[in-house]
């Protein structure tokens, strides 16, 4: 019986695969998008697929992005200095 339980546990672990995602802004809402990553260092990560030209990736403190932000959360676009934009997405 222990062997059967161990096999079932192994099968469940195999089914659970980590997924890499980023949040993008879409109509003032956060949208979770699956991506594939390339090289990275302590500060930057290369996204090799999953994003389209012009998509705005949401960035912020780790806690805000990983713990508090969810799919369809309302977001407000600001520039890197924290000032609101006037609808420009340059």
Output the CA torsion sign for 39, 15, 52, 65. Answer: negative
pLDDT at res. 90 = 43
The model's pLDDT over 17-59, given as tens digits with 9 standing for 90+, comes to 788 999 999 999 999 999 999 999 998 999 999 999 999 999 9
- pTM for this structure? 0.67
Q: Where are the domains of the chain?
A: 22-90
pLDDT at res. 78 = 83
pLDDT at res. 89 = 47
pLDDT higher than 70, residue 4: no
Q: Are strands 29-34 and 36-40 parallel, antiparallel or unpaired?
A: unpaired
Rg (CA), the chain: 18
Beta bridge partners of residue 29, listed in sequence order = 26, 74
């Amino acid at each position: 019986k222990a062997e059967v339980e161990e096999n079932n546990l192994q099968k469940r672990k195999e089914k659970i695969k980590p997924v890499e995602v980023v949040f993008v802004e879409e109509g003032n809402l956060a949208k979770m998008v699956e991506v594939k990553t390339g090289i990275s260092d302590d500060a930057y990560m290369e996204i090799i697929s999953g994003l389209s030209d012009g998509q705005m990736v949401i960035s912020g403190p780790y806690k805000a992005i990983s713990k508090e932000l969810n799919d369809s959360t309302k977001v407000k676009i600001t520039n890197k200095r924290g000032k609101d934009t006037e609808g420009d997405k340059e």
